[in-house]
Chains A and B, each alone.
Chain A
């Protein structure tokens, strides 16, 4: 899953440690999310979205082929 946390954090001029403190997580967690080595839980993703004042889909982008949409998009022939 891709995300824009690095960009949003830069806009707010926060360090990883400052963002981590606001979310009550470790700096390593912020770094792992920014470098896309770790996908946050849904509650943490919502907290991030709330902190930046943006809808969750503007921050996180699901970049893998979505099995739900592909399975329901095909019309019966």
Chain B
């Protein structure tokens, strides 16, 4: 239940979807712009600021997710929280597994970016299964 929020669950979801699209498009635009400017040869602190600039729209998307989760319907929040917990545990498990492979069997080192991919993929599957459980 969410008596403090005047928006219905459907309206909340729609607002979050719109914010996600705005954040995603902004991220791509800022990222491409920053790459272009960095390639022009800008150096010093400006280069660092340019490299970090895509984090602004990323921060907006994180804020949007946080607001959505805190305002959503209690069952939906439970599903999201459980899905995220499974994603975090699954990623920790996969990360540790790969660390052993890297150290002992010579698997190539991979970027930390893959942790994000793992979280996103496990979260999506877990969310789908959890939604089915409560259907």
- Size of the B side of the interface (Cβ < 8 Å), in residues, is 16
Q: Smallest CB–CB gap between A56 and chain B, Å?
A: 14
Given A25-B1, A32-B134: A40 in contact with B74 (beta carbons within 8 A): yes
Complex CA gap A43/B2 in Å reads 9
- Are A26 and B134 in contact, CB atoms less than 8 angstroms apart? no
Question: A72 an interface residue at 8 Å Cβ cutoff?
Answer: no
- Are B74 and A25 in contact, CB atoms less than 8 angstroms apart? yes
Contact of B75 among A21, A24, A26, A47 (CB under 8 A): A26
B131 proximity list for chain A (CB < 8 A): 28
Question: B26 an interface residue at 8 Å Cβ cutoff?
Answer: no
- Size of the A side of the interface (Cβ < 8 Å), in residues, is 17
- Are B1 and A26 in contact, CB atoms less than 8 angstroms apart? no
Given A26-B76, A29-B75: A44 in contact with B1 (beta carbons within 8 A): yes
Chain B residues packing against A (C-beta within 8 Å): 1-3, 5, 8-10, 73-76, 78, 131, 133-135
Chain A residues packing against B (C-beta within 8 Å): 20-21, 23-26, 28-29, 31-32, 37-38, 40-41, 43-44, 47
